[in-house]
Amino acid sequence: MSPLQIIRIPILPFGIVNAHLIRGEAGCILVDAGIPGSERKIGRALARHGLTFGDIRLIVITHAHTDHAGSAARLRQLSGAPILAHSGDADFYSRRRPMSYCPTGPVGRLFFRTPLPHQPYEGFVPDMMMHDSEQVNLSAFGVAGTVRHTAGHTAGSISVELASRDALVGDLVASGILIGGLARIGHAIRPPFEDDPAKVAFELERLVQNGAERFYLGHGGPLGASEVLRHANALAALTSAQGAEGDCGHAH
Tens digit of pLDDT for each residue in 64-77? 999 999 999 999 99
Q: In Å, how far are 18, 36, 76 from 12, measured between CA atoms?
A: 7, 12, 21
Second-level CATH architecture of 5-242:
4-Layer Sandwich (3.60)
Going by pLDDT thresholds of 50, 70 and 90, the confidence category of residue 238 is confident
> How high is the pLDDT of residue 179?
78
> How high is the pLDDT of residue 217?
97
Cα 208 to chain center, whole Å?
Answer: 17
> How high is the pLDDT of residue 173?
98
Q: Which residues pair with 10 in a beta bridge?
A: 18
pLDDT at 107 over 90: no
pTM: 0.94
Q: How would you class 106 by CB atoms within 10 Å of its CB: exposed for 0-12, middle for 13-18, buried for 19 or more?
A: exposed
- CB of 211 closer than 8 Å to CB of 165: yes
DSSP secondary structure, 142-182, as one string: T--EEEEE-TTSSTT-EEEEETTSEEE-TTSSEETTTTSSS
pLDDT at 200 over 70: yes
Tens digit of pLDDT for each residue in 20-40? 999 998 889 999 999 999 999
Which of 146, 152, 143 has its CA nearest to residue 130?
146
Average pLDDT score over the chain: 92
Going by pLDDT thresholds of 50, 70 and 90, the confidence category of residue 248 is low
Name the residue ranges covered by the structural domains of the chain. Answer: 5-242
> How high is the pLDDT of residue 123?
97
The contacts found for 4-9 with CB under 8 angstroms, 24 or more apart, are 4/143, 4/144, 4/162, 4/164, 4/166, 6/166, 6/168, 6/216, 7/45, 7/49, 8/216, 8/222, 9/34, 9/41, 9/42, 9/45
pLDDT at 247 over 60: no
CA separation for the pair 160, 168 (Å, rounded): 5
> How high is the pLDDT of residue 243?
62
- CB of 62 closer than 8 Å to CB of 48: no
Element (H, E) at 93: helix 90-93
Instruction: Count each helix (H run) and each strand (E run) in the chain, helices first.
Output: 7, 14
Q: How would you class 50 by CB atoms within 10 Å of its CB: exposed for 0-12, middle for 13-18, buried for 19 or more?
A: exposed
Q: How would you class 209 by CB atoms within 10 Å of its CB: exposed for 0-12, middle for 13-18, buried for 19 or more?
A: exposed
CA separation for the pair 25, 241 (Å, rounded): 47
pLDDT at 201 over 80: yes
